[in-house]
Structure 1
Amino acid sequence: MKSSRHRRRAWWLVVLGALIGTAAISAFVFRPDRALRVGTAVVSEALCGGVFVSKLDPQQVFAEDVEPNRGLQLLRRHLHYAIDRDTQTVSTTWLGHFRSVAHFQASYGCTLGDSVSPPRSAIAPLDSLPEPPLEAGTAALQAALAHAFEEPTKPPYRHVRAIVIMRDGKIIAERYALGVDPDTPLLGFSASKSMMNALVGILVREGRLDIHARAPVKAWDHADDPRSVITPDQLMRMTSGLDLTEGDSGFDPVSRMLFIEPDMAGFAERAKLKAKPGTQWEYTSGDTLIVSAIVRDLVGGHASDVLRFARHELFEPLGMHHTIMEFDQAGTPIGSTRIFASARDWARFGQLYLDDGVAGGRRILPQGWVAYSTRQTLDSDYAAGFWINAGGNDNAQWRVRHGMPADTFYASGLNGQRVVVVPSHHLVIARLGSTIDPPNFDMRGLARLVSEVIATEKPTPPMAQ
């Protein structure tokens, strides 16, 4: 035991010395200490959301959401996490250092930070109205769901947690994993960007925002600032040209923004231009965080204002009673990656876009907003918060060849969170899980699900006499 402790201590000293030396040599460009902080923050945030928001078993969350994460493979052995149910916090360290803490607050979800101030004003949780009973669906739909939930014989596993299928505005089939039910809020990761699209659309409908005018960002409000010409449209389409590279190394600026910076949008707004706005497409959550701050400021400036606005204008009209937005320490909604909703709520959200922005006879999104939101951006398969099959992009054409109609568009998030809308078949499919299989998170399985569900529309041929 003694020699083991000595070896561990010696190994730690070597690692620490390497980190300090590397950080000193490369200054602010390459910071291993930041990457380690990102790693512990990823764990704290995942466990906090999984345990306190989704109310899943912590061992399941760690096994399915944390352990398979490629970016944590080298750190996993020496990670230590502690869940305190009394204070509703999760803290994680690596070799006893690089501590990250996530705090849960009712209605606001989890926030990263050593000390998190309480919200400016308390917001009562949404009324949890009783959900209708489960809809198993026809035998053909049950078979399609069984295929989607089926696990391969070896990793990577699908870990599908919920699928809800709606046709003509009604749930026709659904299935849930053990421990998940119709009330369970599940993290959408980047599918959250599509919900931010809706909040922006509402502000446009109300005349409070012009997406083609200069973005109302104070940090850029100078005539000689080249970023001052960036528009909300360019931010939503990820053509801002800002130097906000997104990766999973822990060294990229978006990782720092999401897991270390207390004011995420403020960090993103300080980025320099690396391309002329509107000329290049590059996927980055940084653009969406800036949009999130614009929404925050236009509705009152505080997390509580955003939550009231989202509930009154979007969640309640759609019957989304199991949806939770999370915020950073600056009160900005983390609209890039941190919105939880039950699978039924995600499907209801997709139905809003299938119905051209109208719910219950009330126009939620402005006329033409869905068409705008699903129009191709440059030569990518991205639009303005949604991925699309329209256009000649190779990825889009692959999906069409594998059974997803050309008019399909969808919200998409890390690890296989998908809300698929197929207008030509009056179809919405919400699929949530922890499919850690980059880069496409079981897109082939999703395409099969869509094609099999569409196939159930076909009438059974008459039996031979």
Structure 2
Amino acid sequence: MRLLRRAVSVVALLAVVLIAAFTGVYLWQQPILLTGTGYAAHNACAVTEVAGRDDPATDLPENPLVPYLDVRGAGGPTTATLLGQLAHQRAWFTEGFGCTLADHRPELGEATPIEAGANPFTDAPAPDADPEIDAAIAAAFGDDLAEADRAALGTRGVVVVKDGELVGERYADGFDAETPQLGWSMTKSVTSLLTGVLVEQGVVALDDDRLRPEWTDGRADITVEDLLRQTSGLEWDETYDLGTPITRMLYLEEDMGDYVASLPLEHDPGTVQEYSSGNTTLLCDILAERTGLGADLPRQALLAPLGLSSAVIEPDASGTPVCSSYMWATPRDWAAIGWFALQDGVWGGERLLPEGWMAQSLTPTGAEETDDPGNAMSWRTNPLPDGSLRWPELPEDTFYASGHDGQKVIVVPSEGLVVVRMGFTPEADHTPSEVRLVDEVIAALG
């Protein structure tokens, strides 16, 4: 009996040690696990409820956690866990605002209705067949590639606009002209336009500083333009990894603006350009508070005037639009963004941006150092700081918005051209096909 008791005690002790070890490992790894479940919950909610698709798993990048994810629900909320028990995350769908990660349903107010009439591309008929343009688009879809390479390229939509007319369009299976697609960091370029609208209205100025009341140190010198040009100097790491600011902001913080504002300076404002999704989301937090519009800011100020009826910029739980990453729109609506930029902010005969806004937006950032050459005021330019061209095949005045997984809105003012490429390209190098697409479209239209 004594030996039995001793054996039971040893087993119990071992169980306690194992549980403690597991708990310690889980707590240590919890932030990265929550990143995985947060990504999965938000993705499943948005793909299903915003894009209207039934295949959210196809938008998950390869990750060791994927086989262990348990995703359930349809935005009311969508939940994601590991093994049905661990790292619980919820994403809530709100009409007009898309999906938001939060423990409880966020209170976001009413979404401004958007009528499509202001956007000439929404109901435009499908373009007539043009063999040369269609061939260029076919190459962008990888029709000339082996099946595996074509799948890796992952093109999902291409739209071509010439002089304000839709002249080319194609979609992958499961997508069409009414399917919103996530632009990721192309949202940053949209935020530059949104800021311009507010500058034209006199709500904000590029040289405004002292943007947060608690910034009584060197951060008080950060300006609106610094946030747009990624020269705030706030400490940041855009690496998607354990404990980095970007994963913490997107998947662990319910008030993303407050989190970014709490970060210390690592450089004097204006001296170093460091790519940061935090800068752009903080800017929208500031603009949303200044206007009093909260989550509805992008809809009222920009999306509705342009008639982007499919477009949604998703907010965080506090109501801050996540202007760094979370705009969904159809490729036709993304094309309207490019056409609006090409027109320097004139839409339907009305000037919405200050005259010359895009010229200023494309002026190189005069930082002493940069980790993103050619990134101007949240739009990227073909000319690089050293005088070379990023894409020598394309006209020098080419500029573009760029997002994760190969999202592009490429604008060529000298050709009156806007080309949109959307896709899911986590691994393959998609850039050659985009450059080839624009180059061949220019030749076909020339």
Question: What TM-score do the two structures reach when normalised by structure 1?
Answer: 0.85
Structure 1 residues 242 and 321, CA gap change in structure 2 (3 angstroms): same
For 1:195, give the aligned amino acid.
Answer: V
Structure 2 segments unaligned to the other structure (5+ residues)? 1-13
Structure 1 residues 393 and 189, CA gap change in structure 2 (3 angstroms): farther
Are the equivalent residues in 1 in contact too, given 2:114–2:303 (CA < 8 A)? Answer: no
User: In the alignment, what sits opposite 1:258?
Assistant: 250
User: In the alignment, what sits opposite 1:426?
Assistant: 416
The offset of 1:124, in angstroms, is 5.9
User: What SS class does the counterpart of residue 218 from structure 1 fall into?
Assistant: coil
1:405 aligns with 2:400: no
Q: What percentage of aligned pairs have identical amino acids?
A: 33
User: In the alignment, what sits opposite 1:273?
Assistant: 265
Please provide the CA RMSD for this pair: 2.3
The offset of 1:162, in angstroms, is 1.2
Alpha-carbon displacement from aligned partner over 1:194-218 (angstroms, at most 9, x marks no partner): 1111111011111121211314222
Structure 1 residues 390 and 76, CA gap change in structure 2 (3 angstroms): same
Q: Counterparts of 1:181 and 1:287 in 2: how far apart (Å)?
A: 33
User: In the alignment, what sits opposite 1:109?
Assistant: 98
User: What SS class does the counterpart of residue 180 from structure 1 fall into?
Assistant: coil
Q: Counterparts of 1:52 and 1:393 in 2: how far apart (Å)?
A: 45
1:227 aligns with 2:219: yes
Q: Counterparts of 1:411 and 1:108 in 2: how far apart (Å)?
A: 22
User: What SS class does the counterpart of residue 404 from structure 1 fall into?
Assistant: coil
Alpha-carbon displacement from aligned partner over 1:312-370 (angstroms, at most 9, x marks no partner): 44223323221111100111000000011111111011001111111111101101110
Are the equivalent residues in 1 in contact too, given 2:114–2:308 (CA < 8 A)? Answer: no
For 2:198, give the aligned amino acid.
Answer: L
For 2:378, give the aligned amino acid.
Answer: G
User: In the alignment, what sits opposite 1:391?
Assistant: 384
Are the equivalent residues in 1 in contact too, given 2:187–2:327 (CA < 8 A)? Answer: yes
Structure 1 residues 15 and 364, CA gap change in structure 2 (3 angstroms): farther
1:154 aligns with 2:144: no
The offset of 1:16, in angstroms, is 7.7
1:20 aligns with 2:28: no
User: In the alignment, what sits opposite 2:162?
Assistant: 167
1:249 aligns with 2:249: no
Tell which deviates more after alignment, 415-424 or 377-386: 377-386
Alpha-carbon displacement from aligned partner over 1:353-388 (angstroms, at most 9, x marks no partner): 111111111101101110111111236210111111
User: In the alignment, what sits opposite 1:321?
Assistant: 309
Among 334, 341, 363, the alignment partner of 1:353 is 341
Are the equivalent residues in 1 in contact too, given 2:38–2:89 (CA < 8 A)? Answer: yes
User: In the alignment, what sits opposite 2:427?
Assistant: 437
Q: Counterparts of 1:330 and 1:433 in 2: how far apart (Å)?
A: 30
Q: Counterparts of 1:162 and 1:135 in 2: how far apart (Å)?
A: 14
Structure 1 residues 94 and 169, CA gap change in structure 2 (3 angstroms): same
User: What SS class does the counterpart of residue 204 from structure 1 fall into?
Assistant: helix
Structure 1 segments unaligned to the other structure (5+ residues)? 1-9, 24-30, 459-465
Structure 1 residues 323 and 213, CA gap change in structure 2 (3 angstroms): same
Structure 1 residues 152 and 104, CA gap change in structure 2 (3 angstroms): farther
Among 46, 49, 54, the alignment partner of 1:57 is 54
The offset of 1:15, in angstroms, is 9.9
The offset of 1:179, in angstroms, is 2.3
Q: Counterparts of 1:77 and 1:15 in 2: how far apart (Å)?
A: 23
Are the equivalent residues in 2 in contact too, given 1:163–1:174 (CA < 8 A)? Answer: yes
Give matches, 1:21-420, under 5 Å. Answer: 31-58=28-55, 61-63=56-58, 65-66=59-60, 68-69=61-62, 73-82=63-72, 84-85=73-74, 88-95=76-83, 96-120=85-109, 122-123=110-111, 125-127=113-115, 131-150=123-142, 152-154=146-148, 157-220=152-215, 222=216, 225-304=217-296, 306=297, 310-377=298-365, 378=367, 380-393=373-386, 397=389, 399-401=390-392, 403-420=393-410
User: In the alignment, what sits opposite 1:4?
Assistant: none
Are the equivalent residues in 2 in contact too, given 1:54–1:184 (CA < 8 A)? Answer: yes
Q: Counterparts of 2:407 and 2:239 in 1: how far apart (Å)?
A: 18
The offset of 1:433, in angstroms, is 1.1
The offset of 1:251, in angstroms, is 2.5
For 1:278, give the aligned amino acid.
Answer: G
Are the equivalent residues in 1 in contact too, given 2:77–2:92 (CA < 8 A)? Answer: yes
Q: Counterparts of 1:50 and 1:21 in 2: how far apart (Å)?
A: 32
Q: Counterparts of 1:124 and 1:193 in 2: how far apart (Å)?
A: 21
Tell which deviates more after alignment, 167-176 or 128-137: 128-137
Are the equivalent residues in 1 in contact too, given 2:116–2:308 (CA < 8 A)? Answer: no
Among 433, 445, 448, the alignment partner of 2:436 is 448
For 2:24, give the aligned amino acid.
Answer: I
Q: Counterparts of 2:214 and 2:36 in 1: how far apart (Å)?
A: 30
User: What SS class does the counterpart of residue 288 from structure 1 fall into?
Assistant: helix
Q: Counterparts of 1:37 and 1:318 in 2: how far apart (Å)?
A: 37
For the pair shown, which has the larger CA radius of gyration, 1 or 2?
2
Are the equivalent residues in 1 in contact too, given 2:41–2:91 (CA < 8 A)? Answer: yes
User: In the alignment, what sits opposite 2:6?
Assistant: none
Structure 1 residues 313 and 253, CA gap change in structure 2 (3 angstroms): closer
Q: Counterparts of 1:416 and 1:215 in 2: how far apart (Å)?
A: 36
User: In the alignment, what sits opposite 1:7?
Assistant: none
The offset of 1:152, in angstroms, is 4.4
The offset of 1:219, in angstroms, is 2.6
For 2:416, give the aligned amino acid.
Answer: H
Are the equivalent residues in 2 in contact too, given 1:136–1:142 (CA < 8 A)? Answer: no
Alpha-carbon displacement from aligned partner over 1:240-296 (angstroms, at most 9, x marks no partner): 111121112243111100111000010000001111111111111000011111110
For 1:424, give the aligned amino acid.
Answer: S
Q: Counterparts of 1:337 and 1:258 in 2: how far apart (Å)?
A: 9
Q: Counterparts of 1:22 and 1:316 in 2: how far apart (Å)?
A: 45
Are the equivalent residues in 1 in contact too, given 2:158–2:419 (CA < 8 A)? Answer: yes
Are the equivalent residues in 2 in contact too, given 1:131–1:183 (CA < 8 A)? Answer: no
Q: Counterparts of 1:115 and 1:233 in 2: how far apart (Å)?
A: 34
User: In the alignment, what sits opposite 2:7?
Assistant: none
